[in-house]
Every structure is written in structure tokens, then in C-alpha cells.
Amino acid sequence: MKSWSDGLLKLVAKCNNFELPGSSKNSCLPFIVSGQQVGLVREDILEHLRPYTDVFEIQHTNHGQSNGCVTPGVYLLDKYQSVEERNEVMKYVLDDLRRKNGLVSLRGWRNETYDIRCKRSDPMMMKMERSGCCLFGTIQYGVHINGYFYDKDGQLMMWLGRRSKTKPTYPDMLDNMCAGGLASDLGIMECAIKECQEEASVEDRYLKNLKSVGCISYCYEDSRGVHPECQFVFDLELSEDFEPNNTDGEVGSFSLHTIEEVKTLIVSEEFKPNCALVILDFLMRHGIVTPDNEPNYPYLNEMMHFPLQSTYLTFGDCCENSQN
């Protein structure tokens, strides 16, 4: 069990590598739209944004101005005032960057937009192409569904998906039964139902069991950019005769596992890390991983709920405080 416990520590570290010493955290600039921080831009990505002087103002040093405090940041110019104007100019920048082909992330273009906000409860500032979000370090939201059942012997079984080999990110890796990003204009339960239907052909008689059970949050960075993410988690209790069937080509295959097998798989290299975290949360909520059998229980729990909404996007607060 010691090595499994170590595997869990590695897992939460991987999902939160932006918080570890040596990350780019301290050299990122806040991305600011209309006085609100909505993301973080890494130095290597900043270089790609410099040419767009008619779109962004880049401030490197802290200095006072007659009209208030100016802190370092990448500022979307205030002339883009409406949501529509911002959508349009960000689309122009990302299309142009994609054409130049210098950014890994944009090679996985999704043709799907995410809503950009400061906190989740704040008004929408603009929409942005999904593959561009990590360039600006905006919080991305998604839904993940744990598909499970108790077999006739009372044994807990879980369905896992294996991602299609053609997925732009984490191809061929193990995943939750269904999951997906929260596209613009979709409700969260609505999005979860859609993923269950499209990815696993879950019928209505099971969908009534779909239950919202929490969310996890974490922040990692990789060659693509910075990824602060919040995943809304759903449990879906199935019965032994159900078998998932993919219709949208996003899942390569499904496999059924005992919970002991699942425990081994989530600390293996073949599991997409954030999906493994969703399962760790499941194991804790279902009394399988407990504070008595896992010494790092409080730490793991905290690192699965990293405070993105309160301590990550602090630019606005910082500015507010300096004005007091």
C-alpha cells in the first residue's frame, strides 16, 4: 500500500505542478480583460502575443498612473468593450497564431468555444476557442461521469473509457466512462447528459440516476500552456446488464473493472491524470479510501480542491486592496 499511497501523491503533484517549486507561476503575467483578471500568460507564450499591439498592452513593471494602479499584466485593450468585439478580436488573434503554426496547443484546434469569466459566478467576458484557453491560462470547466454498479455478489464495478487514438490530447489513455469540456451556452447537468448519450449511449432509464456529487479543481502546466481546471463530477449508478457504446468516435473502447483494478490503474502511467483524480474523489466519497487507510487523506483531499476561484485570480483583489 505504501507505493500506492506514493502513487497518489505523484498524481496530485502532476495535476498541480503549477503550484510546485520550479513552475512558471511566478514569471507568468496576469491576463486582464476590462480590469478583471481572467487568466495567466507564460513567458514563452507572451512572445507570440507581442506582435498584436493593436489587441494587447503588455506591462512588465509595476507603476502608478493618474487613473489608478497599473500592475504588470497582459491587458486586452479597453477599446474592445462588448462581448462580441472581444470574441471577434480573440478569434482573429487565435486564427492568425494557428496559421503561423508556432504553438503546440493550436495544432489541436477544437472549433468549440469556452466561456471566459473571472470567477465562475462572474459575468461572461468573452468566448474563446478551447485550444487557445491554455495560452491565456483561463479556468476551463468540464464534466466527468463515474459509471459504476454493484454486481450480483455486491462487488463494486466501474466502467472506464479508453480515449480514441486520434484525440488531440492524451490519445489512447484511460479516462472516466464519459467526460467532456463545458462548451459555451450549455447547462452543467445538460452537458453531463449529452456526454453520457454521445460517448456511451446511456439510455433515459439510467440517466435518471445521474447525480451531481461535487467538483474537483487543480492547476497544471505543460508544453501547451497553463491549465487551471474545475471538473464537475457526477456519479451514475448503472446495472449489470448495461454496456456503454460509443457513437461520437471520441472513445476507442470501454472496459469493466473491479474497484481493486481501478485503484491500480489510476496510479499507472496510462491513466489521464485529471480523470484519475475524479476516481480518487469517488473512492473517498464511497468509503473505499478512508482517513484510516490513507495517511495523506487530508492533503490529497485539499489538493483535489485547489482554490482557483479565490487565490489564483487575485489580480482584481490586489488592485482593490491597494486602493483601500
Binding site for a second copy (CB under 8 A): 19, 21, 119-121, 141, 187-189, 211-215, 217, 230, 232, 284-287, 290-292, 295-299, 301-310, 321
Please name the residues in contact with 272: beta carbons below 8 A apart, sequence gap of 6 or more: 163, 170, 173, 174, 175
Least Cβ distance, residue 318 to a second copy (angstroms):
11
Least Cβ distance, residue 305 to a second copy (angstroms):
3
Nearer to a second copy, 101 or 121 (CB): 121
DSSP assignment, residue 309? I
Q: Give one DSSP letter per residue of 49-84, joined into a string.
A: HTT-TTTEEEE-S-EEETTEEE-SEEEEPTT--SHH
Q: Dihedral sign, CA of 121, 126, 131, 132?
A: negative
DSSP assignment, residue 16? T
The distance of Cα 166 from the centroid of its chain, to the nearest Å, equals: 20
DSSP assignment, residue 150? E
Please name the residues in contact with 120: beta carbons below 8 A apart, sequence gap of 6 or more: 139, 141, 230, 309
Residue carrying the nine cell digits 498592452: 57
Please name the residues in contact with 65: beta carbons below 8 A apart, sequence gap of 6 or more: none
Burial class of residue 91 (count of CB atoms within 10 Å of its CB; 0-12, 13-18, 19+): middle
Nearer to a second copy, 45 or 228 (CB): 228
Least Cβ distance, residue 143 to a second copy (angstroms):
9
Nearer to a second copy, 61 or 310 (CB): 310
Nearer to a second copy, 171 or 295 (CB): 295
Q: Is residue 147 a contact partner of residue 238, using CB atoms and an 8 Å limit?
A: yes
Bridge partners of 324?
none
Least Cβ distance, residue 309 to a second copy (angstroms):
4
Nearer to a second copy, 19 or 248 (CB): 19
Residue carrying the nine cell digits 494557428: 98
Least Cβ distance, residue 301 to a second copy (angstroms):
5
Least Cβ distance, residue 253 to a second copy (angstroms):
29
Nearer to a second copy, 94 or 215 (CB): 215
Nearer to a second copy, 226 or 283 (CB): 283
* Number of neighbours of residue 159 by Cβ within 10 angstroms: 23
Least Cβ distance, residue 146 to a second copy (angstroms):
13
Least Cβ distance, residue 291 to a second copy (angstroms):
4
Number of H helices, E strands in the chain: 10, 15
Nearer to a second copy, 169 or 296 (CB): 296
